[in-house]
């Protein structure tokens, strides 16, 4: 039996609880984007399950957001075929296409101009890098304003 999050075609990416019982639940849509009705439905289901008169808390249900790093494997899998920004533990920043992702890690491809033996001009060279999740500081969707 699906819960209120799954019924909306969504999944939870993060739950935070502050020392003052301020609860924030971040959700993402399986396909497409989270709409306000998704947040309202999850909020209402949570409020119905946990009585605010007995448990003193505040609740916010929000979309995972394009400006937030991925937190769970399902976000990496959903991003396959899209552009992402990877910040590695060794200080590199790579913008490329998410080629694949699974429970072990993910692969990103990108192109960079490099000197090629036998050529006078630099040419675009495609690279493909596979990362373990522990090898990166963050991975986020690439927002292109062009």
What is the residue-level pLDDT of the chain in tens, covering all 146 positions? 468 889 889 999 999 999 998 999 999 998 878 889 999 999 999 888 888 888 888 999 998 877 889 999 999 999 999 999 999 999 999 999 999 999 999 999 999 888 888 888 888 889 999 999 999 999 999 987 66
Rounded CA Rg of the chain: 20
pTM to 2 decimal places: 0.82
Which of 43, 63, 83 delimits the end of a domain?
63
Asked whether residue 68 is assigned to any structural domain, the reply reads no
Which residues form the domain of 88? Answer: 73-141
CA distances from 42 to 20, 47, 75, 123 (A): 21, 9, 19, 50
Structural domains in the chain (count):
2
77 in the same domain as 40: no
130 in the same domain as 82: yes
94 in the same domain as 119: yes
Q: What is the DSSP pairing of strand 10-17 with strand 22-29? A: antiparallel
Q: Which domain CATH number covers 93? A: 2.30.30.100
51 in the same domain as 110: no
CA 65/CA 21 separation, integer angstroms: 22
87 in the same domain as 44: no
Asked whether residue 50 is assigned to any structural domain, the reply reads yes
Asked whether residue 132 is assigned to any structural domain, the reply reads yes
């Amino acid at each position: 039996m699906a819960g209120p999050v799954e019924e909306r075609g969504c999944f939870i990416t993060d739950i935070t609880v502050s020392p003052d019982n301020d609860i924030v639940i971040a959700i993402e849509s399986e396909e497409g984007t989270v709409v306000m009705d998704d947040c309202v439905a999850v909020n209402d289901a949570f409020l119905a399950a946990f009585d605010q008169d007995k448990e003193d808390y505040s609740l916010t249900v929000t979309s995972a957001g394009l400006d937030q790093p991925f937190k769970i494997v399902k976000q990496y899998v959903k991003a396959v075929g899209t552009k992402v920004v990877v910040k590695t533990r060794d200080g590199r920043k790579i913008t490329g296409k998410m080629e694949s992702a699974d429970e072990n890690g993910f692969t990103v491809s990108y192109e960079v101009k490099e000197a090629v033996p036998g050529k006078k001009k630099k040419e675009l060279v495609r690279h493909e890098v596979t990362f373990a999740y522990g090898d990166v500081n963050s991975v986020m969707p690439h927002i292109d304003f062009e």
